[in-house]
Structures are given as C-alpha cells and as structure tokens.
Copies of this chain bind each other. A is one copy, B any other.
Amino acid sequence: MSERWVYFFGNGEADGSRHDKDLLGGKGANLAEMVRVGVPVPPGFTITTDASRHYMAERSFPPGLEEQSRAALTRIEEGTARTFGGGDDPLLLSVRSGAAVSMPGMMDTILNLGLNDATVEALARGADDARFAWDSYRRFVQMYGNVVLGVPNAAFEELLRERRDARGVEDDTGLTADDLRALVPEYKEMIAERTGVTFPEEPEEQLWGAVRAVFDSWDNDRAVAYRRHEGIPDDFGTAVTVMAMVYGNMGETSGTGVAFTRDPSTGEKRFFGEFLLNAQGEDVVSGIRTPVSISQMADLLPDAYADLLDIQERLERHYRDMQDLEFTVERGRLYLLQTRSGKRAAAAALRIAAEMVDEGLIDTTEAVLRIDPEDLERQLHSALDPNADPTVLATGLPASPGAASGRVVFDPDEAVRRSEAGEAVIMVRAETSPDDFAGMAAARAIVTARGGMTSHAAVVARGMGKPCVVGARDLEIAREGRSFKAAGHTVAAGDWVTIDGASGRLLLGRVPTVEPELTEHFHRVMGWADDARRLGVRANADTPEDARQARAFGAEGIGLCRTEHMFHGDDRVRAVREMILADDGESRRRALERILPMQREDFEGIFQAMDGYPVTIRLLDPPLHEFLPHDGEEMDELAWATGRRVEEIRAAVERHRESNPMLGHRGVRLAISVPEIAEMQAQAIFEAAVAAAADGVDVQPEIMVPLVATVEELRVQDRLIRDVATRVFEEAGREVPYMVGTMIELPRAALTADRIAEVAEFFSFGTNDLTQTTFGISRDDAASFLPRYIEQGILQDDPFQVLDREGVGQLVTLGTRKGRSTRSDLKVGICGEHGGEPSSVEFCHHAGLDYVSCSPFRVPVARLAAARAALEEAGNAEEAEEDGVDPGTPAEPSLESVA
C-alpha cells in the first residue's frame, strides 16, 4: 500500500486536525479542525507537504497521489451533489498553497478550476447569470495561463484592453457577457501561440497542472527571497488544498465577509468584521464596493448571522484565542473558508491576553507567551494619528520609535536656545557626534542623513527614548546648513516637520500624534512575565531622569551608566579641553578638579533614583579627540580662553587624530595613559556613594572598566580604583560596598576571560563593540554593505540588532564559562544594544547570564522576552504552538481565499 498523501475534509468528517500543521499547512489543518468541530466548510482535500517534498526531489508526483486524490474528489462530489467536469451542476474547485509557516501571498492560487466550454454554460444556467459565468471562465483561463503555463499577465491585459477599446468602454464592467465569451478563444489562441500548448479542456488535466504549479511556486523567486528573509528552511515544502468553490454572489441570499472574534485594534470582546451582500471576496479586496459592518448582516441574512455568531464563539473557545475568520454565504447557507489566530495591535494583544485569563480560557503562562515583545515597545511611545495622511519627505532607518513634531534646527546650539525658549525642535544633521549631545537632549527628535541603526545618533536617541530616523539618504542638507531638500520640497530652519521613528519616516509639517498609555492590562501581563523570568533586567541610563524613567518601566538597576556625556556641556568641555592640552599630571589634575563636583552630583542623583538597586558605571570610554574642537572658530575660542597659540591647539587636534578611532586610544588604554581621569571619576563615584548613603540611600556602585583586552590592564585599574575608595572612605569615615569589573567587548577579553576573572568581580558583555570586532565591521560604516548582505541572504539579520549566536554568541558563551571557571559567583550581564532585542534576550537566558541591560523604553520588551525564554524552556511553548498560536509570526489577514 502506498503512503497517505491526501487528507479529506467535509461531509462531517476529516482525516486531519489542527495538530497536522506541518503535514497539511496551517490552512489545511484548520479546515480539517473546523469540520471536526462541526463547522460548515465546503468539502475538499489537502495534499501533504510530504508529497511536495517528494515532488521537489523527484520532479514527479509520488505513486498513489493521483488515485488518492480521485477518491477524495468523489467524496467532494458526494458532499456537494455536483459533478467535477460535467453535469448540470458542475463542481468547480479552488487550488491553494498552504505552508506550515505563513508566507502570505508568496505562492500561487487558482480559482474556478473545472470550467471549460461545456461547464461554463451549466454555471451560467445555475447562477442564472451568463456574464458572471463567462467572466469567471475568462479569469480562470487568464489565471491558469499565467500561473501554470507561464504567460505574462500583460499579454492577457493587452487583449482585454483591445476589447475595451473596440467597445469604447473605460473599464471591464462595461464589457458584456458576449464580449467576455469572445475573449476566451482569443486568450486560448494567444496561449497556444506563445507556449505551443493547447489550453486543457479536460478538468482533471487542469487539476494536475494546477497542483504541479502550486508545488513549483514554492521555489519561485519571491518565495525563496521571503524564506531567506524569514529564516524558513527550503525543504519545508507546501501543502495543496483543493476545495469545492462556493459563491457569495448568487443573489440577495448570498454574501461574503471577514470577521474577528474580538476587536483587533482595542482587544474589546465584541464580534467585529465586514460583510458584503451578493459579492465575492475579490469585490471586497478590489474596493469596487464598500463593505458594511458585520452587525448589519443580522438584518440582511439573519439566519446565517445567527449561525456565524454561534460559530465564532465556538471557534474562539476551541482555539482559546482570538480568531480571524473568512466566510461565504451561498444562497442562505453559511460556509467557513478559513480560521486562524488573528493579528492584533499591541494594546489589543495585552487586553485579550489579560481578559482571557479572567475568562479562564488561558493561564498566565500562555498570556505571557501570547505577547510579541517587539510589539510591546510601540505601546510605550507616542504614535502618528492613524487618521493622518502625511507627506513623506524621506525614509530612513527606524532608529528609535515614537512620533514627534517640531521646528527644524541644524545647529545644536540653536536647538538648545530654541528649546529653552519653549519651542519644540527637531534636530536635522548629516550625522551626529558627541559634540551634539546637548542639542540632541534639547530636541524632540533627531534625523540624520547618514549612519546605521547603531550609529551615534541612533544609540543616543534610543538611550534618551527620543524618536530618531537615521540614514535618510535622500535628504540633501545645503552646504551652509540652513535648509534641506527632500522629495522636491525645500525645508528651511524653523519650518515644521514630524518624525515617525517607528516607520523611519520624515514627514512634512505638523502631523497629529496620539499619546501612549500604560494600561492596567499592560501591568498585569508584565507582572506575570516578571514571575516567570530568571534573567534580571536593568537599564542603560546616563542621567537621573533616565534612571527614574527606567525604574518606572521596571528596571532592576542600571547595567550601563555611560559617563562621557558628563564631559560635555559648555561648562565642562572647557575644563576637559584644558585637561587634554595640559603638559603634566599636575595641570591635568587641576583641570579635572573643576569637573569633579559636577560628576559627583550626576552620580548622586543616579544613586538616589536607583535606591536599593545596583548601578554599573563605566569609566570614560571615548578617545579624547572627541572632546577637542573641530572647526577653526572653536579652535580660536579655545586658544583665546587658554592663552595658547592657535597653532598649538591645531597641533594637539592633529596629534590626537586617529585612522580608526574605534580601535584607538580609548577605554582602559586612555585610563592607563592618563590615570588622572579614572582617579577623578572613581573619586566622584565614591564621594557620591558615601553622600547618598549618608542620606539613607542603599547604594550599590559597580565600577566598570571599558575595552579591556588583557587582565593586566584591569589589574592596573583595579588597584587605582581601590586606592581611591580607601582614601575616600577614610576621609568620609564611612564605607559603602562596591564592585570592580569590566566590559567584555573585545574577542581577546572573551578568549582570556578566565584570566580576567582573576581580577574582575563582574563581566558585562558590550556586544556592540564585540560585534564590531568579531565581525571586523564598523557600525558607522556598515550602511554601505550590510543592507545588501541581508537582501542577499548572506546574513539573516543585522548583527548589530540581533545578536549573532554563531560567532559573537560563541564568545559570550565561552567568556561566561571561562569567567565562572575562575570565579564561580561572577556576575555576568550584557549591556549592548542587544540587551533589549527579544531573540538576543532569549540567547542570554540560555547562555546563563544573570541580567540584560537595555534602553529604558526597551525594559518591558526585555522583561517579556526573558519570561518567554524561561517559559519556552520549561516546555510551554510547544503546547501553545499546537493550539494554533504562533506568537512569533502573526498571520496576515487577507481576503485572497474568499471566493
């Protein structure tokens, strides 16, 4: 006996069920399931993905497929009381692809299969509509000619256009049944001329051609590209579902619609959808007619509506999730054509999950698994008003979400001035540098023409939770920097623009935005997530305000407090520059003493905001040249202020210039060359900690040395920091507990982590720099080739967004293992951009890290991702998956299969 390739469903029985998704595809499995639970579905059968794999390997149908299909066909004929390819009431079929993983619109579908010169007449009679029958036939020939025989659609459209011209009408609705009847032989002749193949009249021949074409469509270019992009294996293959056609356009007792069991925008528990009387799915899609609200169906087709209401409730209870339904009513009789988990807005997802727990449909574990962490962040930011219809000036990379409007400024000082005057400003720059920090802090949002997702602007904006678009390459900033051109508009400084950080768009004028709200549902679901997760979640925050924001979002400490911005600002940078220009340690120390009180104040504010939680402070990381002036005017000013010759200043700037600053004189290297800086910082930290402790704050400073490559570097710094601590504690007569640790952000640090852990009390993987060095890719320069890599499938993801498990991840795992081999209680975290990206958080969970740290606005994302990782590890994921929920890739709602 041959293998089973065909699974029948209909007539009250089904061979398959919802558990056969891998074998029957999502569509086929759910159709079978609906039959099993007594939902009316047109009968049909599904050819398995195994058959598809056999076909791909052998280029022929597996033995037994045709016989099994014929037997199933007979059962459809029995169920519908129609005959395939003949009789007064001919059975027509739809043939659709359906993979285990949703690949919306990627593969082919053929409708109305079974029509030929004989059956078309029977259809016309049955529907009592010759035009409908001939239009169906004409469309079938075109669809089949295109999909199965490979004739371009344009060739059909050409003949259609000629016909319209001959009739003198503007669109196809002007063509009569006779016009369409005349088109069919013209189509067939054209197909024969182009392909040398006669159009098959025999319905069974049509069927096998269609099945073959669906199998083949698995390997068409767009499907391959889509799979590459989504990481779907090439050997999954697609199932093929063959189903009796039903028609919603058979008069005033027929109709078609799409519905959701709850409101997909708000999550409210109410039946929601659209309906069209006497229409086909295509009519809804093409927009020729406007559908009405589903509730109006109650008046139009009361019996069918009552059935539908009952069915939707049963399906939701059965699947224990909000369903997206497609249905057709043919002459008063309701047929469900599809059900699947419905795609929903983030707010809706939270409400649905929380309310389903209350309704006893799901438990809290499942509620947590139902939320896509990536969706969550959108919840926290303002967004464009969905009713707005803005003019797009330029599109770049969506570097930091949120929407904001403001007046364009190009100059950071102007940004500060205007902002202090109470104006909303948007900063527009070719790219940003640390010099621009004050301007960025003053602006509502930031746009740059250059740079990638991890460029300076992107990282800083995300840290601040400000909307940001980077790499908007079409934006031409005028040389003198007082205007820019984009999409044919010239926008001057002071003009209004709006940023949509979520979509990466720069919009003309003031576009209305809607503000976010942290709902009760959000807090409930996040509470369940916190109960489930093992990983700690901290925030990257550099100021007391950010620290408070992070804490409000649930951060359990600060994993990265960068100190470099504390060197910026007019009052500070002057002292920093004097320090750099100083000729000896003594003058350096004097200059640094002026920065000390300001740093101390910064740290004290942060300790207060994080009372009871650890605060990891990274010592100065960037190279000194970032603090030096870059243009002539600023050099003149500095020369005047310091009483030095401009040539001296210029020489210093030149001396500090570097070929590859990313790999240059920064981090611990700087601290070893100019120990006075680290000394001052350590002093500021300990003095702030002692002062806060005196106010009753529970302070837990963790001092982090950046860019360590060898244990010896860390040893030198560790000694310096501990000496300062001893001195400060003695002077204050008070001690606070503290730790000294290091970033692991260079491959060598990970490779020698066992040595480094001899000194380090904690590790924090700086996966931004670790990714840069492991790949040898500068994130600032990656925009010129990385997008192509992802397009071509050379990389699945941008490694600066999603942690590269194979390479960088290997170093994280190795570094953690080696570190703990020396010091078993080593605290290990991650503070790169990846700390807030769900797949990377999942990796960190499995790598055994203690915590992740991310931008404040990503904290809830990380909390949820950490919970999912823990729950999935505990085996809950599989169960949820089998219940028809695939939380990672929500299904696209579509009408393509409603006929």
Q: Which of B660, B774, B788 is within 8 Å of A748, CB to CB?
A: B774
Residues facing B in A695-712 (CB within 8 A) are: 707, 709-710, 712
* Residues on the B chain within 8 Å of A827, using CB: none
Q: Which of B669, B712, B781 is within 8 Å of A658, CB to CB?
A: B781
Q: Does A642 contact B (CB under 8 A)?
A: no
Tell whether, in the assembled complex, residue A776 and residue B712 are in contact, meaning their CB atoms are under 8 Å apart: no
Residues facing B in A776-793 (CB within 8 A) are: 776-778, 780-781, 784-785, 788-789, 792-793
Task: Give Cα A707–Cα B789 distance, bound, in whole angstroms.
Answer: 14
Residue in A663, A672, A746 with the greatest tally of chain B CB atoms within 10 Å: A663
Q: Does A810 contact B (CB under 8 A)?
A: yes
Q: Does A769 contact B (CB under 8 A)?
A: yes
Q: Does A888 contact B (CB under 8 A)?
A: no
Tell whether, in the assembled complex, residue A785 and residue B672 are in contact, meaning their CB atoms are under 8 Å apart: yes
* Residues on the B chain within 8 Å of A669, using CB: 785
Tell whether, in the assembled complex, residue B773 and residue A776 are in contact, meaning their CB atoms are under 8 Å apart: yes
Q: A793-812, CB under 8 A of B: which get 1 and which 0?
A: 11100000000101110110
Tell whether, in the assembled complex, residue B664 and residue A781 are in contact, meaning their CB atoms are under 8 Å apart: yes
Number of copies of this kind of chain in the complex:
2
Minimum CB–CB distance from A639 to chain B (whole Å) comes to 18
Given A659-B778, A662-B660, A773-B776; A795-B673 close (CB under 8 Å): no
Tell whether, in the assembled complex, residue A807 and residue B709 are in contact, meaning their CB atoms are under 8 Å apart: yes
Given A659-B781, A712-B793, A712-B794; A810-B751 close (CB under 8 Å): yes
Tell whether, in the assembled complex, residue B660 and residue A794 are in contact, meaning their CB atoms are under 8 Å apart: no
Tell whether, in the assembled complex, residue A807 and residue B664 are in contact, meaning their CB atoms are under 8 Å apart: no
Q: What residue of chain B has the Cβ atom nearest to residue A656's Cβ?
A: B784
Tell whether, in the assembled complex, residue A663 and residue B781 are in contact, meaning their CB atoms are under 8 Å apart: yes
Given A747-B807, A773-B773; A672-B789 close (CB under 8 Å): yes
Minimum CB–CB distance from A647 to chain B (whole Å) comes to 10
Q: Does A665 contact B (CB under 8 A)?
A: yes
Tell whether, in the assembled complex, residue A663 and residue B665 are in contact, meaning their CB atoms are under 8 Å apart: no
Tell whether, in the assembled complex, residue A778 and residue B658 are in contact, meaning their CB atoms are under 8 Å apart: yes
Minimum CB–CB distance from A742 to chain B (whole Å) comes to 13
* Residues on the B chain within 8 Å of A773, using CB: 747, 773-774, 776
Q: Which of B713, B748, B788, B795 is within 8 Å of A807, CB to CB?
A: B748
Tell whether, in the assembled complex, residue A660 and residue B780 are in contact, meaning their CB atoms are under 8 Å apart: yes
Minimum CB–CB distance from A265 to chain B (whole Å) comes to 40
Tell whether, in the assembled complex, residue B778 and residue A664 are in contact, meaning their CB atoms are under 8 Å apart: yes
Q: Does A518 contact B (CB under 8 A)?
A: no
Q: Which of B707, B748, B794 is within 8 Å of A672, CB to CB?
A: B794
Residues facing B in A576-603 (CB within 8 A) are: none
Q: A538-577, CB under 8 A of B: which get 1 and which 0?
A: 0000000000000000000000000000000000000000
* Residues on the B chain within 8 Å of A807, using CB: 709-710, 747-748, 751-752
Minimum CB–CB distance from A778 to chain B (whole Å) comes to 4
Task: Give Cα A710–Cα B774 distance, bound, in whole angstroms.
Answer: 11
Residues facing B in A258-305 (CB within 8 A) are: none
Q: Does A775 contact B (CB under 8 A)?
A: yes
* Residues on the B chain within 8 Å of A185, using CB: none
Q: Does A97 contact B (CB under 8 A)?
A: no
Given A716-B794, A808-B748; A661-B661 close (CB under 8 Å): no
Tell whether, in the assembled complex, residue A710 and residue B795 are in contact, meaning their CB atoms are under 8 Å apart: yes
* Residues on the B chain within 8 Å of A777, using CB: 663, 709
* Residues on the B chain within 8 Å of A707, using CB: 776
Q: Does A405 contact B (CB under 8 A)?
A: no
Q: Does A395 contact B (CB under 8 A)?
A: no
Q: Does A772 contact B (CB under 8 A)?
A: yes
Q: A807-840, CB under 8 A of B: which get 1 and which 0?
A: 1101100000000000000000000000000000
Minimum CB–CB distance from A671 to chain B (whole Å) comes to 10
* Residues on the B chain within 8 Å of A672, using CB: 785, 788-789, 792, 794
Task: Give Cα A807–Cα B749 distance, bound, in whole angstroms.
Answer: 8
* Residues on the B chain within 8 Å of A664, using CB: 778, 781, 784
Q: A664-B784, A748-B775 are in contact. List 20 more A-B contacts (CB 8 A).
A: A658-B778, A659-B781, A660-B663, A660-B781, A662-B776, A663-B776, A663-B778, A665-B784, A665-B785, A669-B785, A670-B785, A672-B789, A707-B776, A710-B807, A712-B793, A716-B792, A745-B776, A747-B747, A748-B804, A748-B807
Q: Which residues of A contact B (CB under 8 A)?
A: 658-665, 669-670, 672-673, 707, 709-710, 712-713, 716, 745-748, 751-752, 755, 769, 772-778, 780-781, 784-785, 788-789, 792-795, 804, 806-808, 810-811
3 cross-chain pairs, A with B, having the tightest CB-CB distances, nearest first: A663-B778, A660-B778, A748-B807
18 contacts between A and B (CB under 8 A): A658-B780, A658-B781, A660-B660, A660-B662, A662-B776, A663-B776, A663-B778, A665-B785, A673-B785, A707-B776, A709-B775, A709-B776, A713-B789, A713-B794, A746-B776, A747-B776, A769-B776, A773-B773
